[in-house]
Amino acid sequence: MKFRKWDAAAPDPAVVAMLRKAGYPSLLALVLSARGIRSPEEAEAALTQESRLSVSPLLMKDMDRAVERIRRAIRDRETVAVFGDYDVDGITSTVLLTDYLKNQGVRCLRHIPRRIEDGYGLSSEAVRRLREQGASLMISVDCGITGNEEVDYANSIGLDVVITDHHECKETLPDAVAVVDPHRPDCPYPFKYLAGVGVALKLVMALGGESRADELFERYCTLAAIGTIADVMRMEGENRTIVSRGLEALPRTDFPGVHALCREVGLWGKPVASMQVGFILAPRINAAGRMGQVDLAVDLLECRDPARAEELAKALCALNRERQTVEQAIFADAEEQIARLPQDQRHALVLSSSEWHQGVVGIVASRLTEKYGCPSFMIQFRDGIGKGSCRTCGGFNLFTALESCSDLLEGFGGHALAAGFTIREEHLGAFRERVNECVKRSLGAQPVEASLHIDALITMPGEATLEQVKALDRLEPYGTGNPRPVFALMGAAVESVQSVGQGRHVKFRLSRGAARFDGIFFSVTEEMCGIRENMRVDAAFHLQPNTFRGATSLQLQLLDIRPSLCASRGEQESLDLLNRLTDGDRLTPQEVQRLRASREQFADCWRALERLFRRTRRRKTDTEIETDTLPCLRDLAAEIGGCEGFLRAALALAVFEERGLIRVTEQGDRMTISMPPHRGKVSLEACPYLIRLKTERE
């Protein structure tokens, strides 16, 4: 089980019925209702996608000043430098803007800092070099909003600066010719969630003027879509328009490097959705910056020669495989560090090492946050200075947290969900303590449990068909604020479990009633998931078509699987019968016979309970464990054996508790079992439940 907690939404049956009557397929109607849609009119508005960006870019504060200065540079044939960032958003922003400027006849320089050697953002040294190469204007993309000192230096050496960014602003803005950032407090632009490449796209559309806006959008929408998806921006408003149009235009984009990369990863000629960009294309582009070879990705996207683009795409994919190997090693080391952290330091995971690759720690932070459900801060130290990357779950603002720790930091930047910072090693302990306090104040004192949000339970498995899954495509593109729908099937039977992919993945065959489903659980082994044939399980998954040897069938892409927390009909009957015994209700002779348990079965159950304690408790001194109620009873029943094993396991726990051998506290699907110190010999036969059963039998 990957997630301790599953949060299942509760679609309104009346709304679902209304939407189905209006023509929406049942699964789509369930998801729409779960996400707050109340009527067919709201559903149509939510699913309708604009075909163009209709909001004027000139509504952005300082956009007019940026346009005026850049147009003057174009007119006067000045040398213009584009200063970008080394992630996918920064790379696509750089390529987009330099392509436009070169098409206007501008001599254009590009500069993207090296992640490890230069760090994030503007630097005075880079500014000086660009000026020496003849630049009289520098335009930043996806960075620069916190570069006050660097802009002051540029001003002092005669280099004008236009900032375009989408990150959070500090109290004082850089003294640039123009500062274009939707997050400026005084910026009236209505949509605040553009990626850096989205702001760059808006700048180019403003430069081209209203008459060329649609033409420029068509040319650059695919680059903008890739950067927007990769930067995990909210998938609503203008971002939905950018991504949907960009994915639609991908097969005909004017950038051969995109085609070459799609061919290299096997996507060419296939439908490409946001998930393929986020999990296949973007990581390969990102690998260049992470591994210190950012020019490889920029050269690929700028390349005009298809043959050369093929070579660059192969090199980029090889670099990504190297990144994956490094990432796995760092993740394993981070897991070991987490195991040694005391509980009060697990509200935020602050981890460090001098052995880590600084370019990869950010992606490991993302994986840790996903797994543990809390903010993660990964720091790589060298010569006493640490460069950190942090990621967060919803509800905790990283930029605000770093601001509150600014006296401990050498510098920081980013936004609410992802940020970077620099720290001296002697401040690590104080930083860890303060960040954990920030999280406790923001999210509560108890460590956050990783939870999985489920849009809807599939209660009628026969309705899960390929046609229904195809209808879910109307929700695309997926991303933050509009995630891919997650469904759950409760109380399914496991017909088969099989390792595939050289043991790296697990394939399942599940059934519920007459319905049968094939499922795949990626990056999980049989040992990790702990699921065996003939178990009853709850499964959470995405629904997707799977084509194999020309045949397409429905497949569950599993996100989690656990021993079922839903009682079967027989289990519920057993629990109801036990409750009638303990409540003193009348029992039939047949029911009394069902409740009959031998002394050996009680002893087997006690030994199984002791083994469960040894296996589950965190420390040898612990006297209590927390466990799922029904799976625990099933495990104990397996030790007792027999057709009434579940009932007799439940009876044994009730008897042990009444006799004071254990204490049981139930809360929802979970129970806490504690073992108080024993005081002398305890007679099970003296339990009133067993006395009553004996009397009834006699």
- For 566-614, the three-class secondary structure string (H helix, E strand, C coil) is CCCHHHHHHHHHHHHHHHCCCCCHHHHHHCCCCHHHHHHHHHHHHHHHH
The CATH number fitting domain 57-220, selected from 3.40.50.2020, 3.40.47.10, 3.90.1640.30, 1.20.120.530:
3.90.1640.30
652: closest CA among 580, 589, 576, 601?
A: 601
| CATH 3.10.310.30 domain residues, the chain | 341-451
Contact 515, 554 (CB under 8 A): no
Give the per-residue pLDDT at 302. 96
- Model confidence at 491, pLDDT cuts 50, 70, 90, reads very high
479: left (phi over 0), alpha (psi -120 to 50) or beta: left
pLDDT of residue 448: 55
Q: Where along the chain do the CATH 3.90.1640.30 domains lie?
A: 57-220
Structure tokens at 14: 């009346």
CATH code linked to domain 569-697: 1.10.10
Over residues 275-291, the pLDDT tens digits come to 999 999 999 999 999 89
CATH of domain 341-451: 3.10.310.30
Contact 307/255 with Cβ under 8 angstroms?
A: no
Question: Would you state the structure tokens that stand for residue 595, as one six-digit string?
Answer: 């409740």
79 backbone φψ class: left, alpha, beta (φ>0; ψ -120 to 50): beta
**pLDDT over 90 percentage in the chain:** 71
Amino acid, res. 550? G
pLDDT given at position 482: 92
Task: With a cut of 80, say whether residue 621 has pLDDT above it.
Answer: no
639: confidence class by pLDDT, cuts 50, 70, 90: confident
Identify whether the C-beta of residue 163 lies closer than 8 Å to the C-beta of residue 180. yes
Amino acid at 632: C
Element (H, E) at 635: helix 629-640
Cβ(90)–Cβ(196) below 8 Å: yes
At residue 412, the pLDDT reads 87
What is the CATH code for 455-563?
Answer: 2.40.50.460
Range(s) of the chain covered by CATH 2.40.50.460: 455-563
pLDDT 10s digits, 368-385: 988 888 899 999 998 999
| Greater pLDDT, 117 or 258 | 258
Spell out where 402-550 has E strands: 409-414, 418-424, 451-454, 456-457, 487-500, 505-512, 515-521, 536-548
- Of 128-132, 213-217, 419-423, which range is least confident? 419-423
Half-sphere exposure of 142 (CA within 13 A, CB side): 29
Question: Cα-flanking dihedrals φ and ψ of residue 579, to 5°?
Answer: -65, -35
Q: How deeply is 423 buried, as exposed, middle or buried, from its count of CB atoms within 10 A (0-12, 13-18, 19+)?
A: buried
Question: What does the DSSP assignment read for 528-544?
Answer: HH---TT-EEEEEEEEE
Give CA–CA dist 200/166, Å, rounded: 10
Predicted local confidence at residue 693, as pLDDT: 92
Which letter does DSSP use for residue 480 in this model? Answer: B
pLDDT mean across residues, the chain: 92
Tokens representing 36 are: 């707050």
User: What angle, 0 to 180 degrees and rounded to 10, lies between the N-to-C axes of helices 306-340 and 294-302?
Assistant: 150
Token pair belonging to 497:
């479990």
The pTM (predicted TM-score) of the whole model is 0.82
Between CA 653 and CA 659, with CA 658 as vertex, the angle to 5 degrees is 100
Triad 302, 303, 308: Cα angle to 5°: 155
153-170 pLDDT per residue, tens: 999 999 999 999 999 888
Per-residue model confidence (pLDDT) at position 669 = 84
Nearest to residue 52, comparing CAs of 192, 221, 165?
A: 221
Strands 376-382 and 79-83: unpaired
More confident residue, 443 or 89: 89
SS3 readout for 337-382: HHHHCCHHHCCCEEEEECCCCCCCHHHHHHHHHHHHCCCEEEEEEE
Model confidence band, residue 224 (pLDDT cutoffs 50, 70, 90): very high
Instruction: For 590-601, give one letter per residue: b (16+ CB within 10 A) or e.
Output: ebbebbebeeeb
605: left (phi over 0), alpha (psi -120 to 50) or beta: alpha
Which residue in this structure is represented by tokens 């870019």?
Answer: 57
* pLDDT tens profile 176-199: 999 999 999 999 999 999 999 999
pLDDT digits (tens, 9 = 90+) for 2-46: 777 888 898 999 999 999 999 999 999 999 999 999 999 999 999
- Beta-carbon contacts of 133 under 8 Å, excluding residues fewer than 6 positions away, are 79, 81, 109
Residue 539: beta bridge partners?
489, 561
Three-state DSSP state, 54: coil
Between residues 201 and 417, which one has the greater pLDDT? 201
Residue 276, SS3?
A: helix
